[in-house]
Amino acid sequence: MNPNCPSCGAGCSVKYGRYHRYDDAQSIQRYRCRVCGKYHSSATHAPTYRQKRRRLNRLIEMDIASSTAQRRIAIKHGCDRKTVARKITFLAQEARKKAATWLAQQRPFEQVQWDELVSFEHTRLKPLSIAVMSVERHRCILGFGVAQVPANGLIAKRSREKYGLRRNLSGPMRKRVLKQVADYLSPMVHVVSDEHPRYASEIKQVLPQAHHRTHRSVRGSLTGQGELKRTGYDPLFPINHTLAMMRDNIKRFARRTWCTTKKVSVLEDVIAIYMHYHNTTLIPPIALNFDEKPE
């Protein structure tokens, strides 16, 4: 069926030849509207309409989710850093749409795990909390959120002296993420987390019928970017393994790196790209056919 005319909306367009698009070597069908007489093509309705370097979209998506810095991506593909930045914004928008469609096609999940990862913006004196919910057996990511938190420990005093008091916005962020993923969860979902003092009340408020089980958090090991734990059996291994993959595959999350986050909005875009790539490429699709059996 021929697409509707984007100018007048009429559905009586007819084929009017083809043209060769040099950007990606594709043959594009052209149409002519019988009502207004204007021309359009099959590319007019595509998300990549008017983009100059469409071939870079998939390549940059893979590089962003494969621990590559933006400057190195620009050098690798022979483009400007601004091109990479614009592509990240575009790819994040498409990744959010695809992730929502992909999650809606899955049946409600019955066993999930919930934890947070700590990063920073610009300097370690300005820490960020990244909450992540993943499926226990499949390890696919259901949702995430980013929020600023105050510095603690030995750097807390330096942080207050240099940047003033820093508000803790992690609580509202966690509730927002729980509300976003609630549509993909079973009403009687089993949520497993560590013994964070606020997790129980927040999960009870957003998911009143959920079964929440906690486990004591132990010291991290040297492997897995410090996310994997130094113990024989770790009941939180799926979420810890997912967070370890995020630290290893997202350049700015590595424990020792000079690639830092300058804007929280860009960090959210990068995580959105990685989330879609993680669920559709890094996790074997056959795993989603396994039956979940709550304990």
pLDDT at 291: 47
Q: How far apart (Å, rounded) are the C-alpha atoms in residues 293 and 140?
A: 17
pTM score, whole prediction: 0.89
pLDDT at 293: 47
| Other CB atoms within 10 A of residue 274 CB | 24
The residues, any chain, with a CB within 8 Å of residue 129's CB and separated by 6 or more, are: 116, 117, 118, 146, 147, 148, 149, 170, 173
Give me the sign of the Cα torsion angle 271, 276, 281, 283. Answer: positive
- Give the model confidence (pLDDT) of 113-122 as tens digits: 999 999 999 9
- Give the model confidence (pLDDT) of 156-198 as tens digits: 999 999 999 999 999 999 999 999 999 999 999 999 999 999 9
What is the amino acid identity at position 271?
Answer: I
pLDDT at 140: 93
Q: How far apart (Å, rounded) are the C-alpha atoms in residues 77 and 201?
A: 48
The two tokens of residue 12 are 């009586």
Q: Which domains does the chain have, with CATH numbers?
A: 1-46 (no CATH), 96-289 (3.30.420.10)
pLDDT at 210: 94
Q: 50's torsion region: left (phi>0), alpha (psi -120 to 50) or beta?
A: left
In tens digits, the chain (295 residues) has pLDDT values of 788 888 888 888 899 999 998 888 889 999 999 999 999 998 888 899 888 899 999 999 999 999 999 999 999 999 999 999 999 999 999 999 999 999 998 889 999 999 999 999 999 999 999 999 999 988 999 999 999 999 999 999 999 999 999 999 999 999 999 999 999 999 999 999 999 999 999 999 999 999 999 998 777 776 777 777 767 788 899 999 999 999 999 999 988 888 899 999 999 999 999 999 999 999 876 455 444 444 4
- The count of residues in the chain is 295
Largest CA distance in the chain: 72
